[in-house]
């Protein structure tokens, strides 16, 4: 689970760094310093993915990845509601409904695979 999550976050991080204009299109207007935020979040995704796989602080990386997934949810809603076309990402509701519905699963996934939680299988792993 860690490897797959790290691959998703690494791919997103690379996209943030190589195609920021695509992501600026779905960034809500109330986000300040949008280009800088896109760049910093790309670096975060790459760093968190690395720490999740090889660092001794994977629990904290998972918690931060979960918080990050929560924070980017408004961009997912904007992408869906405004029907913004992005390279390689559909603006179809066939994409958006599962994507929006899976955001809580992504949050859980980051927490679970980093050993921050063990729900629903028991209490904390520590």
Nearest to 27, CA basis, from 84, 67, 68, 66? 84
Q: What does pTM read for this prediction?
A: 0.87
Rounded Cα distance, 124 and 108, in Å: 13
Rounded Cα distance, 29 and 125, in Å: 40
Tens of pLDDT, residues 45-88: 999 999 999 978 999 999 999 999 999 999 999 989 998 888 77
Tens of pLDDT, residues 8-25: 999 999 999 999 998 999
């Amino acid at each position: 689970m860690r490897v797959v999550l790290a691959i998703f976050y690494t791919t997103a991080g690379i996209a943030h760094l190589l195609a920021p204009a695509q992501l600026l299109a779905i960034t809500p207007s109330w986000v300040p310093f949008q280009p800088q935020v896109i760049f910093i979040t790309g670096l975060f995704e790459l760093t968190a993915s690395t720490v999740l796989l090889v660092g001794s602080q994977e629990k904290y990386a998972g918690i931060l990845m979960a918080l990050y997934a929560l924070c980017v949810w408004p961009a997912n809603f904007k992408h869906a509601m405004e029907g913004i076309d992005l390279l390689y990402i559909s603006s179809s509701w066939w994409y958006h409904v599962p994507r929006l519905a899976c955001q809580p699963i992504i949050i859980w996934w980051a927490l679970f695979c980093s050993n921050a939680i063990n729900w629903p299988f028991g209490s904390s792993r520590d």
